[in-house]
Amino acid sequence: MRRYGEDIEVRPGLVAGDEGPAQFFWRGRVWLVRSLLSSWITSTPWWRSADAARVLGSEGDWAARVGGVRDHGDTVSDRSDVVAGSAPMEELQVWRVEAGRGGAYRTGVFDISRSTVTGQWRLETCLD
């Protein structure tokens, strides 16, 4: 399995009577969904939340501080200016789909997610 986490464009629709992604545009190519294999809802990791971004700083430097210690010495727990739960926790609707680029091309299995907060679609994984 390969992890991508890349933003994609999706055209939702019906696939064999089930609603979900019908086509997606990824890396300059259109992929046609042949079947919806599964779907589920999951929460995003806490460090992706808006509250965590305010506490940890910009996206570019938060990874170094995920353990809780900030560059200037205070810890995440020292921040009283952030109200826990003030932003909605993002959930992802995830579809596992079988998709291909056309008739003669082989198909692949992809996990495609959609944020319940922002509506953004992402290609999460491709199963080899």
The predicted-structure confidence for 31-64, as pLDDT tens digits, reads as follows: 999 999 999 999 877 776 777 777 777 655 545 5
Three-state secondary-structure class, residue 112: strand
Q: What is the pLDDT, as a whole number, of residue 46?
A: 73
The residue extents of the domains of the chain are 1-44+94-128, 45-89
Question: What letters, b where the CB count within 10 A reaches 16 and e where it falls short, cover 5-38?
Answer: eeebebeeeebeeeebbbebebeeeebbbeebee
For 60-108, how does the pLDDT look when each residue is reduced to its tens digit (9 = 90+)? Answer: 554 555 544 444 444 444 444 444 445 567 899 999 999 999 777 889 9
pLDDT at 99: 96
CA 112 – CA 125 distance, rounded (Å) = 7
pLDDT value of residue 89: 72
The pLDDT assigned to 115 comes to 93
Task: Please give the model's pTM, rounded to 2 decimal places.
Answer: 0.68
